[in-house]
Copies of this chain bind each other. A is one copy, B any other.
Amino acid sequence: MADQSPAFPSAAARRALGRQVYEQVMLTEAPSDDSPFAGAGLLDFVFAEVWSRPGLSRRDRRFVTLACVAAADTVRPIQEHVYAALKSGDVTYDELTEAVLHFAVYCGWPKGSFFAQTATEQWERIHAERGEPVPPPTPTLPLTTASDPELRLQGGEAAFKSINELEFAVPRDHPYYGAGILNFVFGEMWQRPGLGLRERRLVTLACVALDDTEGPVRSHVYSALKSGDLSYPEMKELSLQFAAYYGWPKGSFLAQVIDEQHERIEAE
């Protein structure tokens, strides 16, 4: 069935909707529309037609978008989207900082660094606007996962299989797989209580899609669909949100893999 774009009574009505959705999502005034980028692009398409779509909640779209702006590594969009995510209440501060950790693991610590700093700064800004003190941060310790390295590896193997919907885990005897993937990424990080599995999948899907490494794109699209954490229509909607924020070339591969993996699961 063909996907539908909205019909607008006029170009002015579309622009007006773009402004309205921009202000609902970003919680600041819409920008001037005197350039193709801001007018035809940002307002008429990204806000009037993408953010306004059903099929994925605004909260879901935020996790995808936050990962994209953090990876794009552009100062203002990171600040604006972090501000809007927190200020709207769509994402709590603990969820956001947990998403920063998840993002840093998937896109590296250097990009995580500015994202982490921005989370703190925008949280302070929101409290300053409200004239309220910033609440004390949630302590990092204790961890909820095992300290014993053997138990951590075992927990990592179990989580790896469960989260990736696989019968087997990667081998232990390799620094990348053992000390990295099993010991930390699945042995600790994915098991942290601060962020739900659906939200972790949204961040991960954006990260693997923007990294555009074939194996991880395939495996995370498969497990997101197979687990039922995201439905096929939601995943297709996600590929549009992602493409808007990270471009059509990478969106194209993600969209292709979503169809492929959906067919694979249907056939299982």
Contact = CB atoms under 8 A, between A and B. Distances in A.
A68 B237 CA distance: 23
Q: Give the interface size class of chain A.
A: 35 or more
Interface in A26-54: 33-42, 44-46, 49-50, 53
Question: How many monomers of this protein are in the complex?
Answer: 3
A129 interface: no
Chain A interface, DSSP helix/strand/loop, else mixed: helix
A49 B179 contact: yes
A247 B207 contact: yes
B41 A108 contact: no
Given A184-B49, A247-B72, A113 B77 contact: yes
A21 interface: no
A180 B236 CA distance: 11
Interface stretch (A83-91, A167-175, A221-229): A167-175
Given A140-B182, A176-B240, 15 more contacts: A1-B34, A5-B44, A6-B11, A35-B97, A41-B243, A45-B188, A77-B249, A100-B175, A105-B108, A105-B247, A109-B245, A116-B176, A142-B149, A176-B254, A215-B253
Interface of A: 1-8, 10-12, 14-15, 33-42, 44-46, 49-50, 53, 55, 68-69, 72-78, 97-98, 100-101, 104-117, 119-120, 136-143, 147-150, 152-153, 171-185, 188-189, 192, 194, 207-208, 211-217, 236-237, 239-240, 243-256, 258-259
| Across the A-B interface, the 9 shortest Cβ-Cβ residue pairs | A39-B140, A140-B178, A3-B39, A3-B178, A72-B110, A72-B249, A175-B240, A36-B240, A101-B175
